[in-house]
Amino acid sequence: MEDGILRAISADGTIRAVIATTTNLVGDARRKHALSFTATAALGRALTGGALLASLASKAGQITLKFQGNGPLGKLMVDASPKGTVRGFVENPQVELPLNSLGNFDVGGAIGRTGYLHVTVDPGYGIPYTSTVELATGEVGEDLNRYLVNSEQTGSVVIVGSHLTAKGVEAAGGLIVQLLPDHCEETICRIENNVSTFGSFTFLMRRGMSLEAMLERILNGFDVRALTEVMPLRFSCKCSNERFVEALKVLPKKELVSMAQEDGQAEGRCHFCNAVYLVGKDCLLNLAQGS
């Protein structure tokens, strides 16, 4: 199944939903950053959550998630755009923890159950704004749900997950269901019942269930209308050699000359995609002359 994201709304206007598959995207992140199993599970959930939130939050611009907990993974960051591009990294990608009491990857222990989630929304115009909430569990889904409840003052359901084996990422994805202002108590009860019988997102994916079918399952009993076609998702970074050169221009002339004479080059590594960029001696000296 190709990665994709789909938005929908109920015909009566009481709920909206967004659902995504991110298997290839998470697999790309795992390979680029040489992630451990635990780090893959953590970053994978955050990448999926970022893609879902970006689809809801803005039509342009981007959304940035920063998890800063007291766990061994350190900082975890994700950038996502409503155009279907997502990137992210963890500070300590090799952290591995034993499975938790439920037999799942201990994402909460890796991120930490004490700390903060910072969500920055850039609508594509005006000034970006940041909301900060305390981590609920460090399990990502619960933390994103707390953010939505605090920032939008509305009930929501957030499900994100990934299934990993020795072969790699076999399934990853998630969904967000939000209650809209016209909802009633019956709407809440129906959603709660659907969630309780929904099962595992990645299990349904591995059985070959489509986004549309999973959406119908979580919104059983509602007349659901798709707002968009399924839009492709991919791991994509904005870094480039040109951007690295532009960043070097802010350095003092003395430092640029020193790098040229002592190292013969400057090396930069992108945090988000782990790409390495090299700028040679001649270019450094030219930049120094322009400083």
Q: Residue 86, SS3?
A: strand
Alpha-carbon gap, residue 25 to 33, rounded angstroms: 12
3-state SS, 143-203, equals HHHHHHHHHHCCCEEEEEEEEEECCEEEEEEEEEEEECCCCCHHHHHHHHHHHHHHCCHHH
Domains, the chain, in order of start with CATH, read 4-235 (3.55.30.10), 241-290 (3.90.1280.10)
Tell me, what DSSP letter sits at residue 121? E
Confidence of residue 110 (pLDDT cuts 50, 70, 90): very high
What is the arithmetic mean of pLDDT over 216-227? 89
Tell me, what DSSP letter sits at residue 134? E
Asked whether residue 57 carries a pLDDT value surpassing 90, the answer given is: no
Residue 169: Cβ within 10 Å count: 24
pLDDT in tens, 137-170: 999 999 999 999 998 777 889 999 999 999 999 9
Asked whether residue 102 carries a pLDDT value surpassing 80, the answer given is: yes
Confidence of residue 291 (pLDDT cuts 50, 70, 90): low
Alpha-carbon gap, residue 138 to 74, rounded angstroms: 12
User: Tokens 């299934």 — which residue?
Assistant: 163
pLDDT in tens, 250-262: 889 989 999 888 8
Asked whether residue 202 carries a pLDDT value surpassing 60, the answer given is: yes
Q: How far is CA 229 from the centre of its chain?
A: 21
Asked whether residue 46 carries a pLDDT value surpassing 90, the answer given is: yes
pTM: 0.93
